[in-house]
Structure 1
Amino acid sequence: MEVEARARASDDLSVSPYDPLVIEAVKEALSFVGGKGASVEVSSNIPAGWGLKSSSAVANAVILAVVSAYNRRIGLIEATKLSVRAARRAGVTITGAMDDASASMLGGLTVTDNSKDQLIMRIPLPELDVAILLPSWESSRPKSTIDASRLRKYSEITDSLIEILPSRIWEAMTLNGLLYSRILGYKDDLALRAIELGALGASLSGTGPAIAAVCRDCSDVIDYWSGFGKVMRSRITNNPAKIS
């Protein structure tokens, strides 16, 4: 799924549609280029508020668009760090955002140290089928209701999953999702059912409530999940963000 941002240099700051995160991302980019302002338009086909990392993708796109509008260059990792700072200032991240931002910026699987805004590894993935369920009984949960201190109590367990990478990516995905589902109070039966239907990995996406399953062919999972909410179909990509 894609996000596109268009920007032009100007003397003031305007964004469409209005979003505090986009404002913060523009400010970060303007600070980098030494610019006065920018006019920015953003379009996205990623549903917002479901744990699908739309915020990170939007901030990434805006950073790259504004820097490009000033005819400047920026490395993707450096742009990612600006994106993370914008997300923190806008209050749209619980875990630190470097993991989400680097994945959407670089493609593939990324492993990060969010406390240091550091990329530990990037692993290209097979471009497999992905099913995404937006469950009908769950509404998007404001991030302010999530207790970050409680999540940190399980950090040693989740960090240990890095040890089985890169050979057991989908097992790490599933185990991580089962743990966070339990911590955050979500049902995990649909993720487990996806595994039974042939998914390589299935997990709560971010802090939810969306659920994702990675498959060689997600048709059976999609058929089953369609009775529980809106199901979207996508694919893994290893392509990094680009400026056109």
Structure 2
Amino acid sequence: MHGRASALGAATVLNALATGVGSAFAIDVETRASVELDDSGAVRGDVAEDPDADTRLVERCVERCVERFGDGEGGVVHTESDVPMAAGLKSSSAAANATVLATLSALGVDVVDGEGDSTPVASDTMDGDGSAITRLDACRIGVAAARDAGVTVTGAFDDASASMLGGVTVTDNREDELLLRDEVDWTVLVWTPPERAYSADADTDRCTRIAPVAETVADLALAGRYTEAMTVNGFAFSAALGFSAEPAMEALPDAAGVSLSGTGPSVVAVGDAEALDAVRAQWDGRAGTTFSTETRTDGARIHD
């Protein structure tokens, strides 16, 4: 009983900490997971990049899949990733999605297009014995596991849905409801300073104080004005979470949009590749790492 899958990293349009409504878009960095199920009844995880990493999230993803579709199996889940950990680029969501899809594959569960995907699936497509699941519901398994593991405050359904479905999504994380999915085509520039920040440690009280700004950002995102939304979000949440706005200032006016991603510390700019060269010239002078990538619209996938 073996399964393999990959899922995408993502970046922020709207941080959900203020109101529960969030938005993110998928980028071309991946986390890969392999799952081997056995009759041990216990799940063990390991992370290629960090042998001492906390593996509760991926282990809980396997457990939740087995609870719903399996018969008490245990096993081993192994992940490896191009997504920097604790950098605001949705490494947890990518790991959860990849692990869920790999586990479902190992269990022989079909993952089908459905709510939020390009091809709707009628309710009678789902087998009565639970042998099929939509991609968005598979995503919800990982979100529930993230809450179980305590790695997220909001549940991060916005991040997880972008990672799973590709493109840009807007969600209500309080209900795990997809409000919008759209496709975007941007060059993406990411600057990550040396420090790391963990979503579960974010000061939620300070974030809720900027709820009126977040509501404006949500309106912009729902109207398809994603780059404007992310720029407003970036300045507001940099202030709320105690990050400097200087990297974002350096990106303007060359970038179409720029934001602190998640709870930081990465800053992400989007736009035309040539215009972002000027931003890179600024960010390359900063401590940390800068890299260029692209948006992705295909989302997470199972590998044969």
Deviations 1:116-167 (A, max 9, x none): 01111101112x211110124xx11344532223322323321222222334
Following superposition of structure 1 onto structure 2, how do residues 50-65 of structure 1 map, counting pairs within 5 Å? Answer: 50-65=87-102
Report the counterpart of residue 189 of structure 1 in structure 2.
246
| Alignment-derived partner of residue 18 in structure 2 | none
Distance between the aligned counterparts of 1:144 and 1:78, measured in 2?
23
* Residue 30 of structure 2 corresponds to residue 6 of structure 1: no
Alignment partners' CA distance in 2, 1:28 and 1:212: 33
On the 8 A contact 1:38/1:66 being kept in 2, the answer is no
Secondary structure at the aligned position of 1:227 is classed as coil
TM-score (norm 2): 0.75
Q: Deviations over 1:29-70 (max 9, x none)?
A: 111212312322111110001111100010000000001001
> Partner letter of residue 175 of structure 1?
V
- Write the distance in 2 (CA, Å) between the matches of 1:116 and 1:42: 29
Counterpart check, 1:140 vs 2:190: no
- Structure 2 regions of 5+ residues with no counterpart? 1-28, 48-53, 111-132
The 5 A counterparts of 1:29-178 are 29-35=65-71, 36-73=73-110, 74-126=133-185, 128-136=186-194, 139-165=195-221, 166-178=223-235
CA gap 1:94/1:236 in 2 versus in 1, 3 angstroms: same
Hey, what's the Cα distance between the residues in 1 that align with 2:107 and 2:280?
A: 44
Whether the 8 Å contact between 1:51 and 1:207 is mirrored in structure 2 is: yes
Distance 1:156 1:243, change over 3 A: same
Letter in 1 for 2:139: T
| 1:227 corresponding residue in structure 2 | 285
Q: Kindly tell me: are residues 143 and 168 of structure 1, through their superposed partners in 2, closer, same or farther at Cα, counting changes over 3 Å?
A: closer
What corresponds to 1:236 in structure 2?
A: 295
- 2:245 and 2:228 map into 1 onto residues whose CA distance is 15
Partner residue of 1:180 out of 224, 227, 237: 237
More helix by share: 1
Task: Flag the structure with higher strand content.
Answer: 2
Following the alignment from structure 2 to structure 1, what is the Cα–Cα distance between the partners of residues 224 and 97? 29
Count of residue pairs the alignment pairs up: 240
Q: Which runs of 4+ in 1 moved over 6 A?
A: none
Task: Output the aligned Cα RMSD.
Answer: 1.5
CA distance in 1, matches of 2:218, 2:198: 28
Greater alpha carbon shift after TM alignment, 10-19 vs 50-59: 10-19
- Counterpart of 2:107 in structure 1: which amino acid? Y
Question: Relative contact order (alpha carbons < 8 A, sep ≥ 6): 1 or 2 greater?
Answer: 2
